[in-house]
Amino acid sequence: MAGINLARVLIGGIVAGIVANAGDYLINGVLLVDDGTQMVQRLGLDPVKAQGSMTTWIVVDVLYGILLVFAYAAMRPRFGPGPRTAVISALTLYLGITVILVGFMSMGVFVQDAFMRSAALQLVVTLAASLSGAMVYKE
């Protein structure tokens, strides 16, 4: 059994991060702008500071992409290389994060309708990011 190719994890993770960033821009900058604005207002956040956090989210998406590809690389020996394993690794990370966010929704941080729309779109982005990063990964 070969070890994980960390250089390819980083390269694939950057690719996955770029896909995740593009998806997040589409979701938060185009499709769900009103939901985001309403959440900022409802929670009493500073809109300028919220908008200024974009750089942080770009870095977060790249780190998420690296985690997606690392999970894919770690699962390859058990599930084999290819898109099926990329989907399994994407679902694993997506569900882990989403379960925690459901807890925040129950506390009132997220409104259920907005959360469900965002979660559905984020699933698509996570799958696309994982599949694109996995295409780059080689052992």
- Residue 72 inside a domain? The answer is yes
Q: 85: domain range?
A: 6-136
| Contact yes or no for 1/77 (Cβ under 8 A) | yes
- Residue 102 inside a domain? The answer is yes
- Residue 21 inside a domain? The answer is yes
pLDDT at 32 over 60: yes
| Contact yes or no for 8/133 (Cβ under 8 A) | no
- Residue 50 inside a domain? The answer is yes
pLDDT at 15 over 90: yes
Q: What is the pTM of this model?
A: 0.92
CB within 8 Å of 98: residues ≥ 6 apart: 119, 122
SS3 per-residue string spanning 84-107: HHHHHHHHHHHHHHHHHHHHHHHC
Number of domains forming the structure of the chain: 1
In angstroms, the CA 100 to CA 95 distance is 9
- Residue 66 inside a domain? The answer is yes
- Residue 1 inside a domain? The answer is no
pLDDT tens per residue across span 119-139? 999 999 999 999 999 999 998
Q: Which amino acid is at 111?
A: V
pLDDT at 10 over 70: yes
| Contact yes or no for 65/17 (Cβ under 8 A) | yes
How many degrees, rounded to 5, is the angle at CA 26 between CA 24 and CA 27?
65
- Residue 68 inside a domain? The answer is yes
Mean model confidence pLDDT for the chain: 94
pLDDT at 36 over 70: yes
The confidence score (pLDDT) of residue 51 equals 81
pLDDT tens per residue across span 75-126? 999 999 999 999 999 999 999 999 999 999 999 899 999 999 999 999 999 9
